[in-house]
Amino acid sequence: MDIDFELETQHLFLIERTCVVCGKQKNLIADFYKCRPDATKISSYAYECKECTRDRVRELKLWSQIKNELDDGSFDTKYVNTHQAESYIHNLQNRVNSLGPNSQPAEIVNAAGPLETLKRLKTEDGKLKQFDGKVSDGMLGAPEHVKLAAKKQDPLLKDATIE
């Protein structure tokens, strides 16, 4: 560190901050990353200590590596709604399976009704039919510009009508 920096930040050398991740009290300047340009303010330093930040980044890199290794191309990583029908069915099936003899009628209807509707509206390829009978393009609720961009890029969607 240069001498000017030390003179400007000397009032911060003795300040301790508690890391929001590990909960340990550590020295502000030595143990926290500077995340804003003005090093003379306490608010210019992160709330997560350097050690926890390195651990978090290492974990993110490891998860990315694991995802890349396990990606066999069968899961659609572009459109999150493609596998919604399957996810909802698993979720609702677990709710139905957890119902017992003491379950209230409202609980049974709230779990079994949507499950049966999903089973009825699901197509062979795992997508959902909409209530008007059309098959969902996997992008229900997506803004129009997203749907149009996907339709231009994906040859399977070129003939689909966007509702």
Give residue-wise pLDDT tens across range 62-119: 999 998 898 888 777 776 667 777 888 889 899 989 988 888 888 888 888 888 888 8
Distance between CA atoms of residues 86 and 119, nearest Å: 9
Distance between CA atoms of residues 106 and 126, nearest Å: 28
What predicted TM-score, i.e. pTM, was given to this entire model? 0.46
Are the C-beta atoms of residues 87 and 138 closer than 8 Å to each other? no
**Please, which residues have CB within 8 angstroms of residue 151's CB and are 6 or more apart in sequence?**
157, 158, 160, 162
Task: Give residue 163's pLDDT.
Answer: 46
Q: Which of 58-62, 98-102, 128-132 has the lowest mean pLDDT?
A: 128-132
Closest of 53, 56, 31, 34 to residue 44, by C-alpha: 34
Task: Give residue 61's pLDDT.
Answer: 96
